[in-house]
Amino acid sequence: MKLLSLETYEKEQAIHVAWGYEARFWTSLTDAIDEGTWYWESTDTALFPGYSNWCNRQPDDAGAFGGEDCMFTNYETNGCWNDGDCEKDEFDAICQAIP
């Protein structure tokens, strides 16, 4: 099992149906290896080009000292994505089976 990847709009909508629209949870999207280059760690797939759903002005790496290298869903703000501190922010996580 690995953290969820939301590589398509349809997959993200299916997660909304299953988990609700107000959940905040971690995904496998990260730029920890190369700042600003986001990829789905669970599938080793680059975010761009591809589906994304960032909130306004996100990702912003706005932690106290930068370091917002992981993406969480932020459905309190119109169902979009935010970057967050992988070690300090506490959210649930959804895992998926990856063959």
DSSP 8-state secondary structure symbol assigned to residue 64: B
Q: What is the dihedral of CA 82, 87, 89, 90, to 10 degrees?
A: 120
Q: What's the pTM?
A: 0.90
Token pair listed for 52:
């994304």
Percent of residues, the chain, with pLDDT higher than 70: 93
Q: What is the pLDDT of residues 58-71, one digit of tens each?
A: 999 886 667 899 99
- For domain 2-96, the CATH superfamily is Mannose-Binding Protein A, subunit A (3.10.100.10)
Contact 55, 77 (CB under 8 A): yes
pLDDT (0 to 100) of residue 62: 84
Write the pLDDT tens digit of every residue in 37-61: 999 999 999 999 999 999 999 999 8
C-alpha span between 35 and 37 (Å, rounded): 6
Domain ranges of the chain: 2-96
How deeply is 16 buried, as exposed, middle or buried, from its count of CB atoms within 10 A (0-12, 13-18, 19+)?
Answer: middle
Among 1-10, 13-22, 47-56, the least confident range: 13-22
Note whether 22 and 75 are within 8 A (CB).
yes
Q: Which two tokens stand for residue 72?
A: 């969480």
